[in-house]
Structure 1
Amino acid sequence: MSTPSPSVRPTVRPSASHTSQRNPISARLYKLLGTSFDDNATKEALQTLSELYATQSTITPSKGKEIVHDTLDDNDTHDLELDGFRTSRANTSHTLVESIPGETAATARRHLKRDMENRLAEGSHEFLNALGEVSQRLQALQLHIDILHASCDEAEAQLDVTKESSKALLEHAGNVANEKEQVENKISIVNLFLAKFTLSEEEVKSLTSKDVHIGKAFFDAMDKTERIRDDCMILMSGEEGPTKVGLDIISNTSTHLEAAYEKIVSWCSYEFQQMGREPQLEVGTTMRESVRRLRKRPELLNEALGQLSETRQTALLSSFIAALTRGGPSGLPRPIELHAHDPIRYVGDMLAWVHQGIAAEREFLESLFDLRGHRRMVGSVRDFSSMSEEEEWIRELMDLAVAKLCVPLKVRVQQTIRSQESSIMSFKIANLLQFYMLTMVRTIGEGALLSKTLNEITDAAYKVFYTAIESQASALNREHMNLDDTSLTPPLSILDHAQILREIMNVYQSSLIGNEADEEEKAAFERIADVMIDPAVETCMKAGQEKQRLRPSWDQPIFVLNCLTHLQSVLEACSFTMKKQAWLQAIIDDHVSQLTEEHYHNLLVDAGLETVIQACQTKSATEPLSRLPATEPAMLQRALQHFSVWLSGLEVVQSPRLTQLTVQRLHSQIHHAALKRLLEAYQLLCDEVKKPSNKYEAASTLLGSERPFGQVNILRQIFGLEG
């Protein structure tokens, strides 16, 4: 049996923390290790201790990279540390070298209080030395201040004495200064008055001297002179009334202004004389301003413009004669009189030159009077009822400038007009003259001399033209027709006359400007149409009647209609002949009616129904139609047979006689009208035959035996008439 072993008690060891708490060295170490030296005060204290007690040694390199340290004893180290605190440490470094550990700390404990007191004593000594030097400087400064006070007192005393002695002089100087200021104010007022109400020597010289040219300085001086006069008049209109100074100023400025205006007139007259020698008319700013200022003196402006008018008259006349005889520079353009063989070009070139000259003259005068901003639109009618003063001047000057052109222009144009034998050429010249006459009236007015001259020339041209066409119409009336000519077309004389009328109408159509009223267009051509158409119509009728009398077989109505329709075709080309067309159409309608009636009777004769229809129309109401010799059944049967045969012929479609009409429309119109009347006559015959009172036996059988079988609708279809 085993016995239990004795129990073993575990051994308890003290823990490390408990041991460290009871060990003073460990506690000291833990305390040191746990202390923080991061605060600034601790760092600064340690730095101070390091500077005081750290051993100073110089480290120098040696061969074999060995470092030699010079070790000092405690006292030397302490003295060295104190000296090092005062000196620079640029090339040295403090290294803690202890032969015995803790030696430096022990030294610091022993000498710390003494060293700090010594250091404080040294600092206090330095402060005392510095303050002593400051005290010496302050004493020297106080000495200077005392001297300065003494000098100031002496100067103040002298100033008081001087002030008392110069008081009267200062008062006199003040009075003199006040008087000087008043005099200067008066001088400035006088200078301003003189500058405002008098002219300088240069300004007077520019106004009166002939050596000074007219320009901006001259006009500025004139403006100032006029302004002085206006201001002076305002001052003199006050309560005090006119003064001697004001009257003197008015007198002087009047003299200067009169001299200035005389100078402007002389200069303008000279410049206007030179303008006649220059091919291009240009107006400068100085000339325009001079004319504007002369408007205030109309008598002086009249004098200057009179010189301009004479110069321009001579210049334009010379230029016109040169254009007629010599042409332009170097012969181009060629002289106008070289084209005298061509009347239209000759007259047109002369009128175009005059018109161009007037346009250039108008532009020159508008520039002279500075009216460019009031120019009318090209082609518009100028309004002469409400004209400004400048417009009146321009109108009068233009009239005078072209006055000398009227005589040579009138002589040459009238000579050209009288030499024309062709009515067409005369009409072209008259229309050309009328166009330029209207243009001149719109440009320079109806009362201008050139407008009156052109009006006279135009009337003369139209007189020559009307004389020519009247002579032509008279010659047409004296024309005799060829009796051997069997044609029904218009004769050659009528065709030539109509061709002349057509060309005259074309010329008139081309001469229309486009703004005429319809009534104005028609009225202007009425006289020409009357002179040309009426004799032609009369000639056609008389010649037709005369030839019809001499040749009864000749168809005069067809001839007359052909002539009338040919004249109408000529008139239809233009709208301004509507009145004459209506008159001629009435004559044609009358002849068409006559020819229609005649053609209807011819159709009745050709169809064999003339006697039958005549009997139906003329029978008495009591006598039966069947008892009349012309309408008894046998005669009626033969007439219906003849009518049936006629319906099968070509005359139903067209009439050989009417085919000679030159207007196919009239052929159809007349033939259809006659067929329509024939249809009505046949219907009358059928109605009369069917009446019981006319006592026809088997009337329907009688009518139905031949075409159209008593049916009016069938006959209408045969004739090709509408229902």
Structure 2
Amino acid sequence: MATDYLTRKHSGLSDGIGSPTSSPGPQAVRGNPLAAKVTSVLSASYTDSDIRDALSLLDKRGIENDAETRRHLRLDIQKEVIESNGDIIREFGQVAEQLTRIGATIASLNQGCEEMKKHISAAHRETAPVLEEASELMKQKHQIEAKQQLLNAFNCHFVMSDDDIATLTSTAEPVDDRYFAVLAKAKIIQNDCEILLGTENQRLGLEIMEQVSKNLNGAFQKLYRWIQREFKTLNLENPQINSSIRRALRVLAERPTLFQSCLDFFAEARENVLSDAFYTALTGTSVTGQEDTSVKPIELAAHDPLRYVGDMLAWVHSATVSEREALEVLFISEGDEIAKGIQAGRESEPWNRISEDEDETSTFDGLKALNELVDRDVAGVARALRQRIGQMIQSHEETIMAYKVANLLNFYRVMLSKLVGDDSVLLESLSSLEESAMRQFRVLMRDYMATLPTDMHISPNDLGPRDFVQDGLKQLTAIMETYDTSFASVNSKEADFQPILAGAFDPFMKTSEKIAQELEQPVLSIFSINYLLAARNALAPFEFTKGRVVEIQDSIDQHAARLIEYQYSFFRTNSALQPLLQALAPLSDTPDDLRSIRSLETFQPEVLTQASQALDDFLPSALMDATENLKHLQDSHLAREITETAAERFCDDFEQVEEKIIAADELWEQEEEEGSGAMTEPLRALFPRTSGEIRVLLS
């Protein structure tokens, strides 16, 4: 509507003023107010917020854009403004009246406040001394209450009640959780007394320290006696070992002297228990003579030394394992509490250190202490074991049995070293017994060699190893099979087995070598190879004898080389080829040397013909005759190799003779054609055999 109004208004103005083409110039516009007003109206933007608000207001009033409305619009608006101002003035008049009434009320309130201030000041002057006195009394009350709380806290922390002291020191009171709680409190008091000793007045701290130390000493003495009583009835075989005894040991560790005394008492008691149990296992009856039907006596197997020793060692090993497991639960199953307790005890008892070199930084080695305690527990068993096995070793004179016992002792020594360590009485006993068994083994071997009959030094007809060598190798095989099951490392096995070979092998080899030295070739080498082959076959299956097997094989190869030389000499001598080879040896392939062959005595027609005939007679049975020379060699494959090698060398020599003869004949034929040679028969006609024929006959 306002837009239509403005449109019509604008149209009317345009009509009244004229079109833009007929508008006056700038001077006329400036002189005409109406035109300036119109220009101002036309230059106004419809987007101006004021104009838009005015137009909006006109739209709300519902004014029609006609001449009457336009004439009265300003008057109506001014009238409304005047009326609005009048309403505002009336309302402000009412506000002014209310403000007047509020001012009167405020003045009345100010007067009342002044009167109240006067009354308060007077009251304050009268009550000020009373308040000061009351404040001082309250301050004194707070100080007294703080001192009372401090005294109560001090008494609660540093002073032990009669009941607590009785719990710590009285033997009538049990060693239970309350005892350990009170003991922990006493130790806290003792540590906290250092604070009191750091003050100017040290008397109180000294008195409390003296009393608490006295109570603690009594408490540890009570605990020490209680542990000793418990040890008398303690059953280590019970998997549910009383937890209170473990806790008591950890606490007692704070007094190393008492703790060590308890360990000594415990070790002595356990040594007696295990010794009695070992005696019962051996005999089936207890120390008091009471028969135990649930036990099969180990001594029933005394007729079998190996089983007897094995049963005893197995019992000792089982008992040691059980003892160690039980003591682990008892002493070190809950971390390093004992180590901490002993360290604290060393600090409180520096005069009780084990050695002069031990300082405050040294720590308790629980594993080492456990090994030592286990070793002390089985010390009695170790003595009985050493006595019985020692008697058994001395009373039996069987060589293999002595070594098997030594190996069995070595087996258990290695296993037990993991349980009790290397430095122990038990390991020392087993090592001594092992050395004794090995010493007995070597003595028996020497005695056995000394008792051999004198005819043992004569080689048998079949040139095989003597019976004592076969028996010795059987014993050695049994020993090696036993040794192969030992715990020795692969690298050390060979070195550790050398003393065994020196005692159980070398004497037989040396005796056989002495027999061979009295023989001649080829019997010497055949006999040597036979007994060396037997020795090699016995040693070869085992890894720890490789070095000795290599040495034996070298000796076999040396004797085989001698037999090859013998067979080679046999071929050359019996084939009549030896004189020909000796005659041709100094000659070379020069024409003069080849020409001189015919002048040699061995190449004269009659001699060469006889040599050819001897070769023909030898060749048909040559290989069989050569094989017959080695018929006593027990390795037929080696005998065949030796003969074949010798035959090959013989064939090579024959080729050399053949080549020289052919070369001499060629030179003779050449000179024959030139007419300068003498009329003789070719050497080849006198010695017709070829190297091919020789190889065929000797293959």
TM > 0.5 fold call: yes
> 1:685: Cα distance to partner?
1.0
| Residues 1:258 and 2:226 aligned together | no
> 1:517: Cα distance to partner?
4.3
Q: Deviations over 1:412-464 (max 9, x none)?
A: 10111112222111100011112222333343233322222222111111000
> 1:373: Cα distance to partner?
5.7
Q: 2-side partners of 1:306 and 1:282: how far apart?
A: 23
C-alpha distance 392-631 of structure 1, shift in aligned 2 (>3 A): same
Q: Is the 8 A contact 1:424 1:504 kept in 2?
A: yes
C-alpha distance 455-179 of structure 1, shift in aligned 2 (>3 A): same
What amino acid is the match of 1:426?
A: A
- Please identify, of 696-705 and 486-495, the stretch whose mean Cα deviation from structure 2 is larger: 696-705
| Residues 1:425 and 2:398 aligned together | no
> 1:176: Cα distance to partner?
6.3
| Residues 1:194 and 2:155 aligned together | yes
Hey, what does 2:641 align to over in structure 1? Answer: 669
Matching of residues 230-249 of structure 1 within 5 Å: 230-237=191-198, 240-249=199-208
Q: Is the 8 A contact 2:378 2:426 kept in 1?
A: yes
Hey, what does 2:242 align to over in structure 1? Answer: 284
Q: 2-side partners of 1:241 and 1:168: how far apart?
A: 40
Q: 2-side partners of 1:448 and 1:692: how far apart?
A: 89
C-alpha distance 391-510 of structure 1, shift in aligned 2 (>3 A): closer
> 1:590: Cα distance to partner?
2.1
Q: Deviations over 1:485-521 (max 9, x none)?
A: 632322322211221111111111122x26x142x21
Matching of residues 450-469 of structure 1 within 5 Å: 450-469=426-445
C-alpha distance 420-707 of structure 1, shift in aligned 2 (>3 A): farther
| Residues 1:321 and 2:283 aligned together | no
Of 634, 637, 651, the residue aligned with 2:609 is 637
| Residues 1:211 and 2:179 aligned together | no
Q: Deviations over 1:229-271 (max 9, x none)?
A: 222213432xx33432222221221122111111110111111
What amino acid is the match of 1:214?
A: V
> 1:334: Cα distance to partner?
0.7
Q: 2-side partners of 1:175 and 1:332: how far apart?
A: 89
Q: Deviations over 1:525-544 (max 9, x none)?
A: 11222333333233324334
Hey, what does 1:437 align to over in structure 2? Answer: 413
| Residues 1:298 and 2:298 aligned together | no
| Residues 1:471 and 2:447 aligned together | yes
Q: 2-side partners of 1:464 and 1:178: how far apart?
A: 98
| Residues 1:573 and 2:541 aligned together | yes
Query: Higher relative contact order at CA 8 Å, sep ≥6: structure 1 or structure 2?
Result: 2
Matching of residues 328-407 of structure 1 within 5 Å: 331-371=293-333, 388-407=364-383
Which secondary structure state, in structure 1, belongs to the residue aligned with residue 628 of structure 2?
A: coil
Query: Mind listing any 5+ residue stretches in structure 2 that lack a counterpart?
Result: 1-123, 337-361, 673-679
Q: 2-side partners of 1:718 and 1:605: how far apart?
A: 17
Hey, what does 1:184 align to over in structure 2? Answer: 145
Matching of residues 700-715 of structure 1 within 5 Å: 702-703=683-684, 708-709=689-690, 712=691, 715=694
Q: Is the 8 A contact 1:327 1:334 kept in 2?
A: no
C-alpha distance 172-560 of structure 1, shift in aligned 2 (>3 A): closer
Hey, what does 2:343 align to over in structure 1? Answer: none
Q: 2-side partners of 1:372 and 1:678: how far apart?
A: 85
Q: Deviations over 1:86-124 (max 9, x none)?
A: xxxxxxxxxxxxxxxxxxxxxxxxxxxxxxxxxxxxxxx
Which secondary structure state, in structure 1, belongs to the residue aligned with residue 627 of structure 2?
A: coil
> 1:648: Cα distance to partner?
4.2
Name the Cα RMSD after superposition: 3.7
Q: Is the 8 A contact 2:463 2:526 kept in 1?
A: yes
Q: 1-side partners of 2:298 and 2:629: how far apart?
A: 59
Matching of residues 537-552 of structure 1 within 5 Å: 537-544=509-516, 546=518, 548=519
> 1:694: Cα distance to partner?
11
TM-score normalised by structure 1 residue count? 0.66
Which secondary structure state, in structure 1, belongs to the residue aligned with residue 400 of structure 2?
A: helix
Q: 2-side partners of 1:371 and 1:624: how far apart?
A: 103
Q: Is the 8 A contact 1:288 1:370 kept in 2?
A: no
Q: 1-side partners of 2:245 and 2:201: how far apart?
A: 37
Q: 1-side partners of 2:128 and 2:469: how far apart?
A: 134
What amino acid is the match of 2:304?
A: D
Hey, what does 1:61 align to over in structure 2? Answer: none
| Residues 1:496 and 2:458 aligned together | no
Q: 2-side partners of 1:461 and 1:390: how far apart?
A: 35
Of 558, 562, 575, the residue aligned with 1:607 is 575
Of 485, 494, 514, the residue aligned with 1:510 is 485
Q: Deviations over 1:202-229 (max 9, x none)?
A: 4323212222211221111111111122
What amino acid is the match of 1:363?
A: E
Of 527, 534, 548, the residue aligned with 2:506 is 534
Q: Is the 8 A contact 1:427 1:504 kept in 2?
A: yes
Q: 2-side partners of 1:373 and 1:658: how far apart?
A: 76
Q: 2-side partners of 1:188 and 1:592: how far apart?
A: 109
| Residues 1:413 and 2:371 aligned together | no
C-alpha distance 615-521 of structure 1, shift in aligned 2 (>3 A): same
What amino acid is the match of 1:224?
A: K
Which secondary structure state, in structure 2, belongs to the residue aligned with residue 408 of structure 1?
A: helix
> 1:178: Cα distance to partner?
6.0
Which secondary structure state, in structure 1, belongs to the residue aligned with residue 322 of structure 2?
A: helix
Q: Is the 8 A contact 2:457 2:511 kept in 1?
A: no
Q: Is the 8 A contact 2:570 2:626 kept in 1?
A: no
Q: 2-side partners of 1:562 and 1:539: how far apart?
A: 14
> 1:650: Cα distance to partner?
6.8
| Residues 1:558 and 2:534 aligned together | no
Which secondary structure state, in structure 2, belongs to the residue aligned with residue 662 of structure 1?
A: coil
C-alpha distance 389-294 of structure 1, shift in aligned 2 (>3 A): farther
C-alpha distance 533-610 of structure 1, shift in aligned 2 (>3 A): farther
Which secondary structure state, in structure 1, belongs to the residue aligned with residue 173 of structure 2?
A: coil
Which secondary structure state, in structure 1, belongs to the residue aligned with residue 412 of structure 2?
A: helix
Q: 1-side partners of 2:681 and 2:192: how far apart?
A: 124
What amino acid is the match of 2:419?
A: T
| Residues 1:685 and 2:657 aligned together | yes
C-alpha distance 168-581 of structure 1, shift in aligned 2 (>3 A): closer
C-alpha distance 714-200 of structure 1, shift in aligned 2 (>3 A): farther
Q: Is the 8 A contact 1:272 1:308 kept in 2?
A: yes
Q: Which has the higher helix share?
A: 2
- Please identify, of 308-317 and 648-657, the stretch whose mean Cα deviation from structure 2 is larger: 648-657
Matching of residues 87-106 of structure 1 within 5 Å: none
Q: Deviations over 1:626-662 (max 9, x none)?
A: 3333332333234334435544447179712224321
Q: 2-side partners of 1:708 and 1:409: how far apart?
A: 82
Q: 2-side partners of 1:543 and 1:654: how far apart?
A: 25
Q: Is the 8 A contact 1:596 1:670 kept in 2?
A: yes
Hey, what does 2:186 align to over in structure 1? Answer: 225
What amino acid is the match of 2:319?
A: G
> 1:545: Cα distance to partner?
5.2
Q: 1-side partners of 2:201 and 2:151: how far apart?
A: 19
Q: 1-side partners of 2:549 and 2:601: how far apart?
A: 50
Q: Is the 8 A contact 2:409 2:430 kept in 1?
A: yes
What amino acid is the match of 1:207?
A: L
Q: Which has the larger radius of gyration?
A: 1
Identity of aligned residues (%): 28
Hey, what does 2:359 align to over in structure 1? Answer: none
C-alpha distance 618-562 of structure 1, shift in aligned 2 (>3 A): farther
Q: Deviations over 1:528-574 (max 9, x none)?
A: 2233333323332433455x58xx9x944322221121111111121
C-alpha distance 706-538 of structure 1, shift in aligned 2 (>3 A): same
